[in-house]
Homo-oligomer: A and B are copies of this chain.
Amino acid sequence: MNLKELSSYLGLSQTTVSRALNGFPEVSEKTRQRVIEAAKVHGYMPSQSARGLATGKVGAIGHIIPLGNHQMINPHFSDFMAGVGIAYADFGIDIVMKICAQDEELATYRKLVKSNRVDGFVLQGPLVDDPRIDLLQTLGVPFVVHGRSAGATQPYNYLDVDNEGAFERATQFLVDFGHRDIALLNGMENMDFANKRRMGFLTGLQRAAIPARPELMFSQDMSEVYGYEVATKILPLPNPPTAFLCASKLVALGVMRAIADAGLIAGKDISVVTFDDDFGFLGTHAAVPQITCLRSSLYRAGTRVAHMMMAAVDDPLAISTEIWEPELVVGKSTGMKI
């Protein structure tokens, strides 16, 4: 069933039916109801190809996932995507997802734009100086960044958490408990968020006049194993850390496991603070120790980014930026230095 068939069935012109369905005022309410009813009965939905051709908007947002940088395989990604996807649904928008080799990433953006497949892009996991932003700006496509990137000359839409402030605050928090030897288990520091967290950490130390100990600072993909291995390695050091600052709950769980293995007790012998993306998937929550954390919901960030994306498509010129302050939740994993 297409527009032509539906309108001839109704004895109306295609114009009127189209307008009735799209909520234009030049149609009497009676006719509109009749049209809507008939459309539902016959299961009519406009062809997106045709509509895309006619309007120039295809009703889809591109999400490009380069393989090999572990983006897709971690829960941070999924949780964010869930938020985005649910929010899109309200707008009748869908995700065009491209999975590509890492060296084809920029070309993939180009292709999607040139072939008019999407109305815009959401960028995830921006690097410290991310070439994608430049590319999309010169291509003139609407986009929203989840996170930020330092090296862009022109303004752009983004939503980020205050990573630097959060890690400075966390450091301060630990310092206040008397800790001076704090290990930093950061994410990959070529990514902007991790870079900012590192800066926040260093600022926090500096404010307390504590010299940084580079041998206690790590940068890796955030996983449980990473936390476990690093903690296992550095806990037996002659001058071991008395506190850990982790970039993700996954990492923190690994650290907790190593602490337990070492016969120590978190919150007593050792303090642990982590950034917590607040995803609700880590099996039973009871199994997760109550780790002191800076919390900000990735899912909610996803829905917000989706809304910003819709706004960006509607008005490509108005740019908007948001920075969220994570919430400090004090758990049982932190305490005075002994």
What is A's interface to B at a CB cutoff of 8 Å?
Answer: 43-50, 52-53, 58, 60, 63, 65, 67, 70, 72-75, 77-79, 81-82, 84-86, 88-89, 94-101, 104, 110-112, 114-117, 221, 223-226, 228-229, 257, 279, 281-284, 287
Contacts and interface: CB of A to CB of B under 8 A. Distances in A.
Given A60-B96, A86-B101, A99-B89, A49 B114 contact: no
Given A45-B115, A89-B100, A226-B283, 17 more contacts: A43-B110, A43-B114, A44-B114, A45-B114, A49-B58, A49-B116, A67-B85, A70-B281, A78-B78, A81-B99, A85-B99, A86-B100, A88-B99, A89-B99, A94-B97, A94-B117, A225-B282
Nearest to A110: B43
23 contacts: A43-B114, A48-B58, A48-B117, A49-B49, A53-B53, A63-B97, A70-B281, A72-B81, A73-B82, A77-B78, A78-B78, A84-B99, A86-B99, A89-B98, A89-B104, A94-B97, A94-B98, A95-B98, A223-B283, A225-B282, A226-B283, A229-B283, A229-B287
Given A52-B49, A283-B225, A97 B99 contact: no
A73 B281 contact: yes
Given A82-B99, A85-B98, A287-B228, A116 B48 contact: yes
Contacts of A47: 53, 115-116
A73 B283 contact: no
B82 A72 contact: yes
Nearest to A70: B281
